[in-house]
Amino acid sequence: MIRRGALRSLVLRSLSVAYAALGLDRWYGRVLLFSRDVTASPPAIGADLPLELRDLTEDEIGGFCRARPDVGEADVRRRLDAGYRCLVSRSGERIVGEIWLVTGEVWHSALKRPIRLAPSDVYVYNSFVIPELRGRNLGTARSRLLGERLCAEGYRRMVYTVAPHNRPGLGPSAKLGAERLGSLGYVRVGSLQLDFARLHEGGFNWTRRGRAGTNALSLPTAS
């Protein structure tokens, strides 16, 4: 039996694939920008399965990729070599998902522009839970565990983006008290590209992208 949450997630992901397949993302794209203060205690939200987060190590890459055949081993090694971190979600010894972390500056593949982070920020992306376990609060419980871990490591804020149509991705944000900072996006007309940032602090800004690309967007620091 397919859970309602898993079915909804499948439908929305299919719409996202269709949007890209039609080439609509060539002309316009937008993501919602969120942050969460990891020094604040979020509500106690658990999952109906035991959950543990572990850093992916060099000797575990092969096993991880066998459990996640859609993830290429070369890409995983490239990211780890670049200083990114992968925290693998496990229930017992079973891999049930993963989430990637980066500090300093991150290249946002959907926006095709870099985002510069404050020293106390961590950008999280590629948050994944295996399809058969979606709708069971694993993503929210993992986000809570991740916040506790980042706080213990001395960070203050977790930053991430969510596509506007990805309603399952908005669930953990609402449950854990994340703050929406605004939205980021781009508009293309022929060879002209304009990047925009609509932030609650700083208003609405346009940046014309030149031939050399675009400057990194610096996020407002945590208050």
Domain membership of residue 107 (yes or no) is: yes
- Which residue intervals of 33-137 are DSSP H helices? 61-67, 73-81
- Does this model's pTM top 0.95? My answer is no
Domain membership of residue 25 (yes or no) is: no
Residues 133, 34: Cα–Cα separation, whole Å? 24
Domain membership of residue 202 (yes or no) is: no
Question: What pLDDT sits at residue 6?
Answer: 55
Question: What pLDDT sits at residue 1?
Answer: 44
CB atoms within 10 A of CB 206: 10
The full DSSP string for 63-91 is: HHHHHSTTS-HHHHHHHHHTT-EEEEEEE
Domain membership of residue 104 (yes or no) is: yes
DSSP state of 132: G
pLDDT tens figures, 7-58: 655 554 565 556 556 666 778 888 999 999 999 987 777 777 888 999 999 9
Question: What pLDDT sits at residue 28?
Answer: 84
Residues 2, 164: Cα–Cα separation, whole Å? 24
Question: What total number of domains does the chain contain?
Answer: 1
- CATH code for the domain in which residue 68 is found: 3.40.630.30
Domain membership of residue 21 (yes or no) is: no
Domain membership of residue 62 (yes or no) is: yes
- Show the low-confidence residues of the chain (pLDDT under 70): 1-24, 168-169, 171, 202-204, 208-215, 222-223
Domain membership of residue 215 (yes or no) is: no
Question: What pLDDT sits at residue 19?
Answer: 57
